[in-house]
Amino acid sequence: MAREGVAVALHIGVAALAIAPLVWLMRRELDRLSAHFQQVAETGKQEPYRAPGWMRTLGESLLNVSEKWSERCEQLKTRLREVEIRLRVAEAERAHYEAILHSMHDAVIVTDSFNELTIANEHAAKLLGFDVNEAAHRPIDEVIRDERLPSLIKSVISAGVVNKEKHVEHVIEAPDHGRASYDVTLACLPDAQSGVGGVVTILRDVTREKEISQLKSDFVSKASHELRTPLSSINAYVEMLLDSEAQDEASRQEFYQVIKSELDRVNRLIDNMLNISRIEAGIHSVERTEVDFVQVCNAVVETMMPQAAQKNIKLSVKSGPLVYTAQADRDMMHQVVMNLVSNGIKYTPEGGRVTITVENDDASRSVMVTVADTGLGIPPDALNKVFDKFYRIESYKRVAKGTGLGLNLVKHIVETVHHGRITVTSEVGMGSRFCFTIPYEYEGGV
């Protein structure tokens, strides 16, 4: 047995000595092949590989595999670059769209098919009371505190009508803006798979538009009413003249005088309406010069003195020895003082007084003009309305005729055009006191 074991060991040793050179050669060729592949990978050049015959088949097979793998890697690198470019373009477009969305004055909300908020701008967040970052991918019922808006969005997505907008007028109570009217536009977003991918909701504030529309309607209604009265009177007297009801010259002259008076009233009404609309539109022509307000007031007194004398009303101007000038439109200032003095004379009983006082208000750096009368006065509930268009105190309509636009025009000239201020104080039966200020220097504006 021992002899047999020694023989086996000898055979194994001889075999190992015979195989060792072959193993060494294979290892060397494999190292060369590995270095060749490494060079190909680094340089990208396919250099021919020279291997011994017994390694050539294996080397060629491995080389073919390497070439195919290199081609595959190049393809993957190309696709990766394309994907990276598309991703950058998509990110740039998304940033662009988000910038547009956040710059919009209207509130915009986008929800998905599960009625979860996906995108919203800051205007929507501020209006509806939520945080843009925290509200993403949350149900709109939890995000929007307004009760009606989520139900509108759900109804639109339930209908599933793509490419058709729905318009709804909705009133929202906002903490910062109060009660406001909005035109709500809702539209479904198309989706290739499910058909409807969500809803985009746009809320446009139409409060100011509705107010302007109402003001226009009121203006037309009141203007029509104010025009109808003198025109009806003119028409009546013309018909009487045509019917020869004025038999003598004195009656005809009386009729002519009434017609002339009513026509003057219509002209004043039209002129006031035009002036107010021009000022409100910012297209009124203004010629600013250094205006001496004492001279303006004296000119008004001279013009209105005959009218005051008919009622035995004392009309006077009070001022100190200083210079009372400011940069203003002289004709407009004349019109302001004229309207205030004319009202004072109209609503002051016989034997009363209308006094114009001109002062300097150094605190506000303005010229201050006060027109005070001893007339009927203004009721407390009318003090906040006397500057409104067409407003006239009902109980005073029989005392004097008027258009209800004079004080509104005065307020526009003083405050809108000249950036001054006008106030009124009054006590029924004791008279009224209108006071307006015009800054010394013009600081830009209309």
Domain ranges for the chain, please list them. Answer: 15-93, 104-205, 211-283, 285-446
CATH superfamily of 104-205: PAS domain (3.30.450.20)
DSSP secondary-structure letter at 162? Answer: B
The average confidence (pLDDT) of the chain is 80
The share of the chain scoring above pLDDT 70, in percent, equals: 78
* Reported CATH class of domain 211-283: mainly alpha
The verdict on pTM exceeding 0.85 is no
Between 359 and 248, the more confident residue is 359
Q: Which of 250, 435, 291, 446 is nearest to 357 (CA)?
A: 435
- Residues facing 290 on adjacent strands: 327
Q: 296: Cβ–Cβ under 8 A, 6 or more apart, which residues?
A: 330, 333, 334, 337
At the topology level of CATH, where does 285-446 sit? Heat Shock Protein 90 (3.30.565)
Q: Which residues lie across from 181 on neighbouring strands?
A: 171
Q: Which of 45-54, 259-268, 354-363 has the highest mean pLDDT?
A: 354-363
- Residue-wise pLDDT for 243-300, tens only, equals 777 778 888 888 888 888 778 777 777 777 777 777 777 767 788 899 999 999 999 9
Residue 53 has pLDDT above 80, yes or no: no
Report the C-alpha gap between 217 and 320 in whole angstroms: 47
CA-closest candidate to residue 258, choices 228, 229, 234:
234
Q: Which of 191-195, 284-288, 385-389 has the highest mean pLDDT?
A: 385-389
